[in-house]
């Protein structure tokens, strides 16, 4: 399975990613349903860290569930083409029509906690997102649209303000990695 091979070949940037990659691969080997959210303990998600062409801005959304500015992304929902999932989610959550991965390689691997919440009137228990992320590029002149059932804001942010804008402390490390990597391309 190509998506598993992509995770296996990912080169972790630090001890956190090394350990998270190890745990994710172990979980995949022990669970056949990680690509769907039927697995209520943990499941695969794919996110996009969206930058402009000059790598000076990041497209962010204000998440309703997390009450914080952050990246786009979502559940694989059975789709093993994780780049496609990240692009689909980026388009759905921001209204942009075009986005492309600046590399076909995974740019971040993380195990992310999700607190219990209500979504579409239904209780969702605390669980883990086994997150793979890609750096996407989009045109900052495209019209942006709020997806009201998921976010309450969409905007381009100066890349050096991203860490100040998010209120999720555990995500600052993830965004810092992606900011650094986006400057390499």
Structure tokens given for 56: 């000076």
Q: Alpha helices of 95-153 — where are they, by DSSP H?
A: none
The angle at the Cα of 18, spanning 16 to 24, to the nearest 5 degrees, equals 95
Q: Which residues contact 141 (CB under 8 A, 6 or more apart)?
A: none
Provide the CATH number for the domain around residue 65: 3.90.79.10
Helix, strand and coil content of the chain, in percent to the nearest 5, comes to 30, 30, 35
Tell me which residue range forms the domain holding 158: 2-182
The number of folded domains in the chain is: 1
What pTM was estimated for this model as a whole? 0.95
Per-residue pLDDT of the chain (185 residues; tens, 9 = 90+): 899 999 999 999 999 999 999 999 999 999 999 999 999 999 999 999 999 999 999 999 999 888 999 999 999 999 999 999 999 999 999 999 999 999 999 999 999 999 999 888 899 999 999 999 999 999 999 999 999 988 999 999 999 999 999 999 999 999 999 999 999 98
DSSP string for 151-175: EEEEEEEEGGGHHHH---HHHHHHH
């Amino acid at each position: 399975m190509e998506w598993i091979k992509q995770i296996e070949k990912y080169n972790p940037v630090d001890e956190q990613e090394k350990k998270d990659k190890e745990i994710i691969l172990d979980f995949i080997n022990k669970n056949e349903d990680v690509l769907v959210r039927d697995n209520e303990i943990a499941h695969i998600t794919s996110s996009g860290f969206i930058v402009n062409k000059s790598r000076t801005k990041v497209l962010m959304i204000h998440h309703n569930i997390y009450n914080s500015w952050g990246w786009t992304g979502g559940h694989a929902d059975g789709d093993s083409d994780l780049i496609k999932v990240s692009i689909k989610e980026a388009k759905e959550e921001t209204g942009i029509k075009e986005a492309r991965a600046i590399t076909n390689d995974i740019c971040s691997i993380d195990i992310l906690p999700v607190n219990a919440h209500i979504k579409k009137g239904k209780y969702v228990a605390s669980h883990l997102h086994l997150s793979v992320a890609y750096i996407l590029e989009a045109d900052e002149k495209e019209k942006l649209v709020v997806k009201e059932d998921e976010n309450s804001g969409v905007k381009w942010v100066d890349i050096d303000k991203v860490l100040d804008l998010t209120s999720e402390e555990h995500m600052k490390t993830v965004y810092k990695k992606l900011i650094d990597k986006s400057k390499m391309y």
